A and B are shown apart, each in its own frame.
Chain A
C-alpha cells in the first residue's frame, strides 16, 4: 500500500512542479495546492498506515492498537496553514491582476529602473 501511495505522491509532485513552472498565475497557485496535497499524503504515508484502529480511546468495538496519531495532528495543522496561504495568494493574484492588468508572470517582472 505504502509503495503505491508513494508512486501516487510522485505523480502529484510532478504535476505540481509542472504547474508551478507555467506562466499563468492561477496555474501556479493550483500547482502549490496540488503540492500541499502531495505533502499531506506523504506525511501520513511515512507514518505507518492501516496498522490499527482510529485514534479514539474508549471505542467499544475496538481497543487498540491505534494508528499513529502524531502525523495526523501535524497534517491537520498543515492543512489549515496551507488553506490560509492559498486564500491569501488567491486574493493577491486578484489584486495583482487589477493593478497590473495581466496574469502572465512573464510580464510581471517589476520596473526596469526600480
Chain B
C-alpha cells in the first residue's frame, strides 16, 4: 500500500492546493509543497535495503477486474531508480522554485500542475498494468503541457506547449495501440506476465508492429530523432520546470519504457537495431546542434536530447545480451545496460544542476543569450562552480561522474563493434566512431557554456541592472546536485550495489544473478582504448573550440526550409489547407448539392446492388385485373405530375398537385379504402388552400435560372431514382412468401367492439400511433402559430443563440 500512497499523495495534494492557497495567502505555499516529495522520497528510501537484496514488492488494487485492468504497483530495482529520481530531484526543484518564482506569479497553478506531474510520473514508473501505465503516461503529457504554457500570455509558450502536446500525445496513442497488440498476443495487461510469455511469441505477426508502436511512444516522449523538435521549444517553461521535466524525469519516461520492455522485445534483433541506431543518431544530432545555439536553455535542451540518445543507444546495445548465454564471463554485454542506468542517474544530477545554474543567470542578469553574457566569473563565483562541475561532468572529464559513465559507454560501443556473430560487423564498427564524434561535440558545447558565460569581458552584459550572486536559497539545490556529481565519482560502487544492481534484474530477468551482471566501476582502468579516446576527445574538442569561428558556417549550409522544425510546421499548415480545401469542395451551402449527394448515394448503393446481384424479380401473375377507367386515371395523374414540371405559374402547379391528390383519393375508392378516400379528399383540399394562401405573401415564380447542364443532371438523377423505386417495388411485390397478419384484425368486433376495421386499428389495436400522430399535429400547429406570432423586431439580433 505504501507505493499506492506515494502515487496518490502528490495527486491528493494537487487537489488540495486551491484551498490551501485561499487559506494561507501570505506564506509561499512552496514550503508546504516541499513536504510531499520529501515524504515520498523517505517512503521509497525505506525500501532500498529490501530491493537491493533482489526482492520485489507487488500491491494490487482492483480497478476493473473484469477487463483485466487493475491498479497494480510493482516495486523493483528499475522503478526504484526512477522513483528516487522523481521524488529526490522533485524536492530539490520545489526548493529551488520557492526562491526562483516571485509571489506575484500564479503559484497555486504552478504547484498544482507540478504535483500533478509528479504523481503521474510516479504512476508511470510503478504501474505494472499497461493500461494504467498509459493513463499516467498521458497525464504526464497533459501536466507537462500545462507547465510549459505556465506563462500563457506569451505566444512562444503557447506554441511550445502545443507542439510538445501534439508530438507526445501522438506517440502516446501509438503506444496505446502497441499495448493493445501486446494484450492481443498474451491476453494480459500485466508487464510481468507479458515478460514471462513473450519468448515464445517472437514469431507472431503482431510482434514487430507492437514493437514499432511502443517505440514510437517512447521515442516521442524521450525526444529521440526526429521527434526531438518539441524539446527545445519546451524551454519556454519556467526554469524549474525545464530542470525537472525536461532534463530529469519526463524525457526519461521513454527511456523507462524501453528499459522496462527490453525483456519483452529484445528477443528479436529489430529491437537492437532500432533502439541503437535511433539513439546514436539522436546522440550525434543533438550534440551537433547544441553547438550552434546562442540561448543557454536551448543549448541545454539539445544537450539533453543528445544525452538521452546516448542512454537510449546503450539500452539498445545492452539488448544484445539476450542473444548470448549470460554468465560471469559475458558481463561485457550486460554492461551497456548498466552504463545506461548509471548515466541516467548521472545525467539527472548534472543536467538538473546546469538548468538551475542557467535559471540563476537568467534571474540575475536578465538574459540567457550567450552573446550578451560574459565575465560573470568574479560576480557569481558560486554559480560558476556549479557550471564548471556540471559541464565537466557532462563533457566526461574526471573527477566527475560523467567520466565514469562515458568511459563505460565507449567500452560498450567498442564491444558492439566486435560483436560480429551476425556478419554485420562493418555496420556495428561505425558505432564507436559516431560515439566518439558526438563526444567531441559534447565537449565543445560544454566549453561554450563555461567560457562564453563566465570568462571574457562584462561589457556585453545588460547594464541597467545590478548583477550579483544568487540568494543562498537558490544555490542549495544545485549544490546538492553537484555534490552527488562528485560523490558518485568517488564512490560509484555504493550506488551500483544498492540501486543499480537490482535494476539489472529488471532489465534481464532470469538471465543471470545480480552480481554476475553488475560490473565493478573503476575510475582508473589503465591505458586502454577508451582512455585514449577520451584524451582524443579533449584534444580535438579544444582545437575545434578554439577555431569555432572558422567552421561555424557549416551550420548555415542547411537552408532554413529543410529543417525538421520547418517540415513539422509545413505538415501542420498543409494539413489544415488540404482539409479546408476538401471541405469547401463539397460543403457548398447549396441545398441542391446536398440533395444530389443523398440521391446519388442512394442510387449508388441500391442501384449497384441491383446491378451486381441477381435480385430483380418481376412477374404479373398475381396482379389484379385492370379496367379501362383505371388506366385512364393513371394516365391523367401521370400527365398532371409531369405537367407540374413545366407549369409556368405556381397556381397551375398547385392545381396539378391537387389533381394528383384527388386522383389518389379515387384510387383509394377503387382499392376499397373508404376512410382513406375521405381523409385524402379533406387533406388535399386544405393543403391546396394552404398553398394558395401562402402565395399571397410569396413572390411570383420567375423562370428558374438553372443552366442546361444542371437541368440535365437533375433530370438524370430523378429518372434514375424513379426507376430504382420501380425496380425495388416490383421485386418486393414478387416476394410474397409470408401471409399477412390482417386476418387477426378481422376479429375487430369480438375484440374491440367495432365494425370498421381500420378505425379499430387506429383507435384500439394500434392506438399509440394515433396518439403520437395527434401530438405531431399539435406541435405543427404550435410551430405555425409561434412562427407567425413571434418575430424578431428590426434591429434585434437575428441569432437566437
Does the CB pair B641–A11 fall under 8 Å? yes
- Cβ B780 vs Cβ A88 within 8 A: yes
When each residue 763-781 of chain B gets 1 if its CB lies under 8 Å from chain A and 0 otherwise, what string results? 0001001100100110111
Complex: A79 Cα to B723 Cα, angstroms:
24
A79 touches B672 (CB 8 A): no
The answer, among B686, B695, B726, B781, for a CB contact under 8 Å with A9, is: B726
| Residue-wise interface mask of A (98-110) relative to B, using a CB-CB cutoff of 8 A (1 in contact, 0 not) | 1100010110111
Assess whether B425 is interfacial by the CB under 8 Å rule: no
Per the bound structure, the CA–CA distance linking A108 and B670 in Å amounts to 43
Residues of A within 8 A of B740 (CB): 47-48, 68, 70
- How far, in angstroms, from A90 to B691 measured CA to CA in the complex? 7
User: Which B residues lie within 8 Å of A42 (CB)?
Assistant: 725, 729
Of A41, A77, A80, A99, which one neighbours B667 at CB under 8 angstroms?
A41
Flag if A37 contacts B784 (CB, 8 Å). Answer: no
Q: How far is the CA of A20 from the CA of B667 in the complex (A)?
A: 25
- A93 near B630 with CB under 8 A, answer no
On chain B, the residues within 8 Å of A75 by CB distance are: 673, 676
Identify the interface centre among B634, B672, B730: most chain A CB within 10 Å of its CB: B672
B3 to A: closest C-beta gap in Å: 53
Contact with B along A39-75 (1 / 0, CB 8 A): 0111011111111111111100000101111101101
Which of B671, B714, B757 has a CB less than 8 Å from the CB of A66? B757
Q: From B623, B725, B726, B780, give the contact of A1 (CB < 8 A).
A: B623
Contact A98 B697 (CB under 8 A): yes
Across the interface, do A87 and B784 meet the contact criterion of CB distance under 8 Å? yes
Hey, which chain A residues are within 8 Å of B723, CB to CB?
A: 10
- Measured in the bound complex, the distance between the Cα atoms of B715 and A13 in whole Å is 12
Partner among A2, A40, A73 whose Cβ is within 8 Å of the Cβ of B766: A73
Tell me the bound Cα distance from A20 to B599 in angstroms: 11
Name the B residues within 8 Å of A103 (CB-CB): 698-699
What sequence of 0s and 1s flags, for each residue 668-687 of chain B, a beta carbon within 8 Å of any chain A beta carbon?
A: 10111111100110010011
Shortest CB–CB separation between residue A104 and chain B, in angstroms? 9
Is B718 on the interface with A (CB-CB < 8 A)?
Answer: yes
User: Which of B704, B722, B784 has the most CB atoms of chain A within a 10 A radius of its CB?
Assistant: B722
Task: Tell which of A2, A19, A37, A55 touches B664, judged by Cβ atoms closer than 8 Å.
Answer: A37
CA distance A6 to B651 in the complex (A): 28
Minimum CB–CB distance for B75 against chain A, Å? 56
Q: Which of B681-729 contact A (CB under 8 A)?
A: 683, 686-687, 690-691, 694-695, 697-699, 701, 704-706, 714-715, 717-719, 721-723, 725-726, 729
CB pair A91–B590 under 8 Å, yes or no, is no
Of B59-67, B225-233, B653-661, the one touching chain A: B653-661
A20→B595 CA distance, assembly (Å): 8
Collect the chain A residues with CB atoms within 8 Å of residue B770's CB: 77
Q: Are B742's CB and A44's CB within 8 A? A: no
Q: Which of A66, A79, A106, A109 contacts B676 (CB 8 A)?
A: A79
A94 lies within 8 A of B757 (CB): no
- Judge if B591 is at the interface, Cβ distance under 8 Å: yes
Closest approach, in angstroms, between the C-beta of B723 and any C-beta of chain A? 7
Identify B679's interface contact among A10, A44, A80, CB under 8 A.
A80
Contact of A84 among B664, B715, B776 (CB under 8 A): B776
Range class of the A interface residue count: 35 or more
A-facing mask of B726-757, CB < 8 A → 1, else 0? Answer: 10011011000000111001101100000111
In the assembled complex, the Cα of A23 lies from the Cα of B595 at a distance in Å of 12
Name the contact of B674 in the complex, choosing from A1, A56, A79, A91 (C-beta under 8 A).
A56
Residue pair A70, B749 in contact (C-beta under 8 Å): no
Distance in Å: Cβ of A103 to nearest Cβ of chain B: 6
For A67, list chain B residues within 8 Å (CB): 671-673
- The answer to whether B742 and A68 touch across the interface, beta carbons within 8 angstroms, is yes
Q: How far is the CB of B404 from chain A (nearest CB, A)?
A: 64
Q: Interface with A: B23-31, B183-191, B348-356, B642-650, which one?
A: B642-650
User: What's the Cα separation between A84 and B472 when bound, in Å?
Assistant: 82
B761 interface residue (CB < 8 Å to A): yes
Interface residues contributed by chain B, number (CB under 8 Å): 97
Across the interface, do B729 and A77 meet the contact criterion of CB distance under 8 Å?
no
Shortest CB-to-CB span from A54 to chain B, Å, is: 4
Known interface pairs A15-B645, A46-B733. Does A40 touch B664 (Cβ–Cβ under 8 Å)? Answer: yes
Answer yes or no: B558 CB below 8 A from chain A CBs.
no
- Distance, CA A81 to CA B687, complexed state (A): 12
B706 contacts A23, CB within 8 Å?
yes
Q: Which of A5, A17, A72, A90 is close to B673, meaning CB atoms less than 8 Å apart?
A: A72
How many Å lie between the Cα of A90 and that of B686 in the bound state? 12
Given contacts A8-B634, A57-B748, contact A15 B718 (CB under 8 A): yes
B714 and A21 contacting across the interface, CB-CB below 8 Å: yes
Complex Cα distance A70/B770, Å?
Answer: 13
Please give, as numbers and ranges, the residues of chain A lying within 8 Å of B596 by CB-CB distance: 21
Do the beta carbons of B791 and A105 come within 8 Å of each other? no
How far apart are the CA atoms of A90 and B779 in the complex, in Å? Answer: 15
Of B718, B757, B779, the contact of A14 (CB 8 Å cutoff): B718
Report chain A residues within 8 Å CB of B644.
15, 19, 30, 34
Q: A11-B642, A46-B729 are in contact. Are A86 and B748 (CB under 8 A)?
A: no
With A54-B673, A64-B746, A75-B676 given, is the CB distance from A34 to B788 under 8 Å? no
**Contact (A84, B780) CB under 8 Å given A17-B722, A21-B717:** yes
Query: In the complex, which residues of chain B have a beta carbon less than 8 angstroms from the beta carbon of A7?
Result: 634, 726
> Does B464 sit within 8 A of A, measured CB to CB?
no
Would you give the shortest CB distance from B475 to chain A, in whole angstroms? 56
Q: Which residue of B lies closest to A18 (CB)?
A: B718
Question: What residues of A have a CB within 8 angstroms of the CB of B638 in the complex?
Answer: 8, 11-12
Whether A13 contacts B721 by the Cβ 8 Å rule is yes
Pairwise interchain contact A33-B657, C-beta atoms closer than 8 A? yes
Tell me if B660 and A21 are in contact (CB < 8 A).
Answer: no
Enumerate chain B residues within 8 angstroms of A11, measured Cβ to Cβ.
Answer: 638, 641-642, 722
Give me 20 A-to-B residue pairs in the complex whose CB atoms sit less than 8 angstroms apart, sorted by A's number. Answer: A1-B625, A5-B634, A11-B638, A11-B722, A26-B701, A55-B673, A55-B756, A66-B746, A66-B757, A68-B742, A69-B746, A70-B740, A73-B762, A80-B777, A81-B776, A91-B783, A94-B694, A97-B699, A99-B791, A105-B592
What 3 pairs across the A-B complex have the smallest Cβ distances?
A14-B722, A109-B589, A84-B780
Please give the residue numbers on chain B whose beta carbons come within 8 Å of chain A beta carbons, in ascending order: 589-592, 595-596, 599, 620, 622-626, 630-631, 634, 637-638, 641-642, 644-645, 650, 653-654, 657, 660-661, 664, 667-668, 670-676, 679-680, 683, 686-687, 690-691, 694-695, 697-699, 701, 704-706, 714-715, 717-719, 721-723, 725-726, 729-730, 732-733, 740-742, 745-746, 748-749, 755-758, 761-762, 766, 769-770, 773, 776-777, 779-781, 783-784, 787-788, 791, 798-799
15 extra interface residue pairs, beta carbon distance < 8 Å, beyond A1-B624, A3-B733: A2-B623, A8-B638, A11-B722, A17-B718, A44-B671, A44-B676, A54-B674, A57-B748, A57-B749, A69-B757, A70-B745, A72-B673, A75-B676, A77-B770, A88-B783
